Amino acid sequence: MATAENVRTRRRSAEEVLREALAEIEALDGKVGAFLEVTPDLALDEARAADTRVHAGEDLPLAGVPFAIKDNMWVAGREATCASRILRGFHPPTDSTAVSRLRQAGAVFVGRANMDEFAMGSSTENSSVQLTRNPHDLERIPGGSSGGSAAAVASGMVPAGLGSDTGGSIRQPAACCGAVGFKPTYGRVSRYGLVAFASSLDQIGPITRNVADAARVYRVISGFDPLDSTSSAEDPGNPESSAVSGLRGMRVGFLREAEAEGLDGEVAKNVDDARQLFESAGARVTPVSVPRAPEAIAIYYVVASAEASSNLARYDSVRYGPRPSVRDLASLYVESRTMGFGPEVKRRILLGTFALAAGYYEAYYGRAMRARAVLSHDFERAFELVDVIVCPSIPTPAFRIGEKTEDPLTMYLSDIFTVPASLAGLPAISVPSGFTKDGLPLGLQILGPRFGEDDVFAAAAGFEREIALPDETPRGVRS
Q: Which is nearer to other proteins, 217 or 296 (CB)?
A: 296
Binding site for other proteins (CB under 8 A): 89-94, 226, 229-230, 295, 297-299, 301-302, 309, 313, 316-323, 326-335, 337-338, 341, 346-347, 349-351, 353-354, 357, 364, 367-374, 376-377, 408-409, 412
> Which is it for strands 35-38 and 108-113: parallel, antiparallel or unpaired?
antiparallel
Q: Is 145 a catalytic residue?
A: yes
The amino acid occupying position 441 is P
**Are the beta carbons of 250 and 284 closer than 8 angstroms?**
yes
Q: Which is nearer to other proteins, 397 or 420 (CB)?
A: 420
Report which of 187, 158, 150 is spatially closest to residue 441, judged by C-alpha positions.
150
Q: Which is nearer to other proteins, 56 or 358 (CB)?
A: 358
Q: How far is the CB of 450 from other proteins (least distance, A)?
A: 11
Q: Which is nearer to other proteins, 140 or 337 (CB)?
A: 337
Q: Which is nearer to other proteins, 9 or 229 (CB)?
A: 229
13, 70, 100, 127: the catalytic one is: 70
> Which is it for strands 160-165 and 66-70: parallel, antiparallel or unpaired?
parallel
Q: How far is the CB of 320 from other proteins (least distance, A)?
A: 4
Q: Which is nearer to other proteins, 29 or 295 (CB)?
A: 295
Q: How far is the CB of 305 from other proteins (least distance, A)?
A: 9
As to burial, measured by CB atoms within 10 angstroms (0-12 exposed, 13-18 middle, 19+ buried), residue 234 is middle
What is the DSSP secondary-structure string of 29-50? Answer: HHHH--EEEE-HHHHHHHHHHH
Q: How far is the CB of 329 from other proteins (least distance, A)?
A: 5
Q: How far is the CB of 40 from other proteins (least distance, A)?
A: 23
Q: How far is the CB of 28 from other proteins (least distance, A)?
A: 33
Q: Is 404 a catalytic residue?
A: no
User: Can you list the alpha helix ranges (DSSP code H) found in 260-316?
Assistant: 265-280, 296-311
**Are the beta carbons of 355 and 306 closer than 8 angstroms?**
yes
DSSP classification of residue 300: H
**Are the beta carbons of 65 and 3 closer than 8 angstroms?**
yes
Report which of 126, 146, 144, 195 is spatially closest to residue 342, judged by C-alpha positions.
126
Report which of 166, 167, 142 is spatially closest to residue 68, judged by C-alpha positions.
142
- DSSP H or E segment with residue 383: none
Q: Which is nearer to other proteins, 67 or 192 (CB)?
A: 192
Backbone angles phi, psi at 287, to 5 degrees: -75, 150
Extract the runs of DSSP E, i.e. beta strands, from 355-453. Answer: 388-392, 428-435, 441-447
Q: How far is the CB of 279 from other proteins (least distance, A)?
A: 33
Q: Is 70 a catalytic residue?
A: yes
122, 123, 128, 169: the catalytic one is: 169
Euclidean distance between CA atoms 50 and 105, whole angstroms: 9
Q: Which is nearer to other proteins, 81 or 123 (CB)?
A: 81
Q: How far is the CB of 322 from other proteins (least distance, A)?
A: 7
As to burial, measured by CB atoms within 10 angstroms (0-12 exposed, 13-18 middle, 19+ buried), residue 405 is middle
13, 96, 145, 232: the catalytic one is: 145
Sheet with 203-208, side-by-side order of all strands: 35-38, 108-113, 66-70, 160-165, 203-208, 180-183, 428-435, 441-447, 388-392, 251-255, 284-288
410-431 as b/e, with b when 16 or more CB fall inside 10 Å? Answer: ebbbbbbbbbbbbbbbbbbbbb
The amino acid occupying position 20 is E
Q: Find the angle CA(132)-CA(135)-CA(136) to the nearest 5 degrees.
A: 135
**Active site members:** 70, 145, 169
